[in-house]
Chain A
Amino acid sequence: MKRINRNFKVRNFHQAKWDEPIIFELSKKGERGILVPKAGEEIEKAVGDGISALPETMKRKEAPNLPEISQPRVLRHYMRLSQETLGADVNIEIGKGTCTVKYSPKVNEALARLPEMTELHPLQDESTVQGILEIMYKTDLYMREISGMDRFTFQPSGGSQAIFAMASIVRNYHRDKGQDEQRDEIITTIYSHPSDAAAPAVKGYKIIYIHPDEEGYPDFEAFKEAVSERTAAFIVANPEDTGVYNPRVKEFTELVHKAGGLCGYDQANANGLLGITRAKEAGFDMCFFNLHKTFSTPHGCGGPAVGATGVTKELEKYLPAPLIDYDGEKYFLNYEVTNNPYSIGKIRMFNGVAPVVLKAYAWIMSMGAEGLYEVAKVAVLNNNYLFKKLMEVDCVDAPYIRGKQRVEQVRYTLEKLTQDTGITTGDIQRRMMDFGMHYWTSHHPYYVPEPATLEPTETPSKEDLDEYIETLKHVFKEAYESPEIIKTAPHKSVCHQVDESGMDDPEKWAITWRSYLKKYKE
């Protein structure tokens, strides 16, 4: 026996690998996963088998080819798949820039899974849902305080749908003002999320992109050129996905207002700004927060989620119905405020994704104003610490606003590393997985060459940050000394390099198991 040496800088990691079959391969004729309640003798006596009442043409002739698997085997399969997923609960989430992957408190999840939440039907009488309505109403009030807006809807079920809701409001606002035909352009910046362009395009808008100026801020001169009587709205993230905060944002919004347009604030990047600065003071008419990001609710592999969308008093009438309100005695669904031909009507079924709102409420109540301020400060501290340490590494750079602070994330470039070694940012991404780390490049197209977007949030400790930095340095060193190990990575993840050659070929791709079996016979 000896003292075990734990003096290492990078982790000797290996992800769980179960080599699970596809679920259909587990099927065994006759096995059952669960028993379903029967109608019972008396009902059967009264109405027969139920199925005979169906017209022959509507009866299913062949049972669906679902697998037959007993319950322990189904459970084991999915437990194994869960172990093969690197969620935030098991890893240091620093590498997923723009995603704001922070700690999702377990108590909030436990509360959202109580039957007084899960077993509520959205059409129940208001008197029987006073608790959830109170939670939603108060979350609306807190969101108003956090943003300076005057009213929120929780219907948009993700950030992109929130952008879509904002673009819908823009259209109906201008329709209301009789200027819909004339205003057919929406301006955004290249480093705002792609959905800031894509969602308004569904509403028929032409998208104008503003690029950075020489220093790296959205180019105000170009912006002045772009704003005109055709401008319907300016929809933008600030900070952008580069972590660059546009200090002249108010001049941008003022210019748009002067030209008769609206301003929508994509606050997907709000984590570093809570309690620091708000949409209202920057001159925005609308904004949204991702409750699954900034408000911790969590991400769920990509939803359920909420893009809580807030507007000024002037735009309240355009919101989707119903809004959640309080008359001094009881909470209720308010259909009156939006009862006009220019309301966008409805964005999502029913009244919003209530359990997500509940978790955001609980998070806010565990933070208070001082906690939200702490979140912002620590998120920015963590990011600038990471930024400082990485910029000391020779092969790392970050274009734009040299020598200045970033907010909650940075988009780095590994261009020099690629030039020196041939190793790309995509290669680094795969190699980082061998150490249990996420590492995200960028949305497409890559405006920053060989990009890496890192966002630590307030969740990692200093030691976590140091481990991430040391791991990156280790991988960069490998790039110069033993690039082969990177080119062939991952080695310790769940699977090895995927042959993606069929992914864009209709003859080869297989989106379901049945398509796979059809295309690839034994």
Chain B
Amino acid sequence: MAIKGFKNHPYIPNSVPEVQQEMLKEIGLNSLEELHAEVPEELKLKENMNLPKAFQSEYELRRHVEGLLKKNKSCNEYLNFLGAGCWQHYVPAICDEINSRGEFLTAYGGEPYNDFGRFQSLFEYQSLVAELVDMEVVNVPTMDWAQAASTAVRMASRIVDRKEVLVPKAMDQEKFLIMKNYCDPDITLVPVDYDKNTGLMDLEDLKNKLSSKTAAVYFENPSYLGFIEVNGQKISDMAHEVGALSVVGVDPSSLGVLEPPVRYGADIVCGDLQPLGIHMNYGGGQSGFMATMDEEKFVMEFPSRLFGIAPTIVEGEYGFGDVAYDRTSFGHHREHGKEYVGTQSALWGITAGVYLATMGPKGMEELGQNILQKSQYAISRLNEIKGVIGSRFNTVNFKEFVVDFNATGKTVKEINKELLAKGIFGGKDLSSEFPEMGQCALYCVTEIHTKTDIDKLITAIEEILHS
């Protein structure tokens, strides 16, 4: 059976047979089969691949995919309290409007002249995030927070020339796995224990593990489990005392109300941009950033592209370009450049810029306050349920909190199953990630939750546990 092509395909102008003949003639060939002459016959497929037949119209394709997507139950339909690294926030319509623009959506590696808007918008995103974290240098985004954290600790390791990094034991275990693989084989991650009552990093354990081998201490604020690491300054000081760097991961949606990490000693800050105007996308909206002060020793260790502003030959005109391009693996040094660079998540960077420009200082402050109030309200209401502890740790939280169900006689799995039947996605079950906590779940409350939503959750849990 001969291989067949798809003639007159709407996406392929030159699939018109007459045009193909004309072009083949120009290059001295008779048929399309004569192309691929360099591929040996024994490596060539002899018949068409075994794939489903193409839809014969755009309409049928659309119906088909819409039909598949209808099998999903989205967080518009259900009431969602899941967070744990991907958070449901309100996405201003302007963010989608801008990131749907075909010019941005389909641009890639053009130059600062013809892709000027891409350079300016990413420079602006860098500048806006810099204000949020109160630092001076921000990169073109990396894949996600985990990648940003991985690179941040590798940067720290190069800067101080040491190979051990301390991380909180109470961190996202999947993020830990990503960092571990990224640091392997030369950098070791050492978990530092947490205080069982507060969740905070155990300073005694930290002290014991800090040494002249320590390149960095990595911690997060708010932490993975939602509590605020109030000892940030102490941790940074302890790191600095042994000549290590302080690397802090941060949820940018908190920074309208929480002190930026640089104010408690952070040398490198990283985090995820997803809360800033990017839909959850089943985890496809993650996008990482890193920030430092404008010092050569930091800047020259970034593997990412850094867009800089510059004058042009015309007075009064802005121009842009790559700062210290030869740092990167795109530069002359290839594998001797800093780690590697490539396609990451630039469109989400532009989107985060639009979000921050739209929110402004007031918007970010109100967002933070709103999240604090609503999560505190949820915790207080959960505390009213017999057997439930609204927040397992007696430290103040931002957005997320560990709900303790140990005294309810039911597992989180059982509770979540019943919540699901009531149209609610309960918090993330932590029982396998942190077995020592028993039956606990990580709940997330943001500005999208109304009082009615929270009350509905409380009523549902009441019913599940006590009726």
Q: A374-B12, A503-B321 are in contact. List 14 more A-B contacts (CB 8 A).
A: A53-B376, A55-B228, A60-B257, A81-B117, A120-B282, A122-B283, A195-B341, A202-B340, A247-B39, A354-B282, A372-B51, A373-B49, A433-B113, A518-B294
Partner of B364, one of A64, A84, A113, A200: A64
Q: How far is the CA of A364 from the CA of B86 in the complex (A)?
A: 29
B345 within 8 A of A: yes
Tell me which residues from 98 to 121 in chain A have a Cβ below 8 Å from any Cβ of chain B.
Answer: 99, 101, 103-105, 107, 109-111, 113-121
Q: Closest residue of chain B to A357, judged by CB?
A: B284
Are B259 and A59 in contact, with the CB atoms below 8 A? Answer: yes
A125 partner residues in chain B, CB cutoff 8 A: 416-417, 420, 425
For window 303-358 of B, CB contacts with A under 8 Å fall at 306-314, 317-326, 329-332, 334-337, 339-348, 350, 353-354, 356-358
State whether A373 touches B5 (Cβ < 8 A). yes
Render B7-47 as a binary contact track against A, CB cut-off 8 A, 1 for contact.
Answer: 10101111100011011101110001001111110111100
Residue pair A37, B86 in contact (C-beta under 8 Å): no
Q: Are A276 and B36 in contact (CB under 8 A)?
A: yes
Query: In the complex, what's the smallest C-beta–C-beta distance from B53 to chain A, in angstroms?
Result: 5
In the bound complex, what is the Cα–Cα distance between A111 and B61 (angstroms)? 10
A371 to B420 CA separation, bound complex (whole angstroms): 42
Q: Is the CB of B373 within 8 A of A44?
A: yes
**A373 to B313 Cα, complex, angstroms:** 48
CB distance from B403 to the nearest CB of A (A): 15
Known: A79-B101, A301-B104. A53 touches B372 (CB 8 A): yes
- Knowing A121-B88, A198-B335, the reply to whether A511 touches B68 (Cβ < 8 A) is no
Most chain A Cβ neighbours within 10 Å, of B32, B334, B350:
B334
For residue A171, CB closer than 8 A to chain B, the reply is yes
What is the CA–CA distance of A478 and B104 in the complex, to the nearest angstrom?
Answer: 32
Q: What A residues does B127 contact at CB under 8 A? A: 22-24, 512-514
The verdict on A414 contacting chain B, using a C-beta distance below 8 Å, is: no
Residues B86 and A299 in contact, CB atoms below 8 Å apart = no
B40 nearest in chain A by CB position: A247
> With a CB–CB cut-off of 8 A, which chain B residues contact A275?
3, 45, 48-49
A220 at the interface (CB under 8 A from B): no
Asked if B109 and A131 sit within 8 Å, CB to CB, the answer is no
Interface centre among A59, A377, A503 (most CB of B within 10 A): A377
The answer to whether B436 has its CB under 8 Å from any CB of chain A is: no
B43 adjacent to A494 (CB under 8 Å)? no
Question: Interface residues of A toward B: which range?
Answer: 35 or more
Q: List 5 A-B contacts (CB under 8 A).
A: A63-B256, A89-B106, A202-B154, A290-B343, A498-B113
By the criterion CB–CB under 8 Å, are B343 and A160 in contact? yes
The reply to whether A69 and B357 contact each other, CB–CB distance below 8 Å, is yes
Please determine whether B32 and A355 come into contact, CB atoms closer than 8 angstroms. Answer: no
Q: Which residues of A, 327-361, contact B by the 8 Å Cβ criterion?
A: 344-356, 358, 361
CA distance A506 to B308 in the complex (A): 11
A368 to chain B: closest CB distance in Å? 3
Residue of A nearest to B146 (CB): A349
Bound form: Cα–Cα A282–B195 in Å:
55
Tell me if B414 is interfacial: C-beta within 8 Å of chain A: no
Given contacts A345-B178, A381-B32, A512-B136, contact A86 B103 (CB under 8 A): yes
Contact indicator A103/B184 (Cβ below 8 Å): no
